[in-house]
Amino acid sequence: MRVIADIPHPACKITLFHWNSKYLIKLERGMVEQTYKVSQFDLTGEEEARKLLDEAFISEVVKRFGEMEASLGNALGRL
């Protein structure tokens, strides 16, 4: 797996990888992470992979992080 870029963003850590003919977009915040896989054949290259990370996409990711953190907190509370 090859790291292509660390993309700065105030809401989360974003890392772009290339592996097995796929671009992997890994987003991390606190104790949760999301990974999206996109075939390299669906994109024209690294720049297009970066363009996927527009504000609408990041907004949805941040909302999902909140849901994930709540789910994890609820599960830990049930222990």
Element (H, E) at 67: helix 55-77
Q: Can you give the residue range of the structural domain that contains 68? A: 2-77
Verdict on whether the full-model pTM lies above 0.85: yes
Residues 8 and 31: their CA atoms lie apart, in Å, by 18
Q: Kindly give the confidence (pLDDT) of every residue in the chain, 79 residues in length, as a single tens digit, with 9 standing for 90 and above.
A: 999 999 999 999 999 999 999 999 999 999 999 999 999 999 998 899 999 999 999 999 999 999 999 999 999 999 9
Q: Is the dihedral of CA 16, 63, 75, 30 positive or negative?
A: positive
Number of domains in the chain: 1
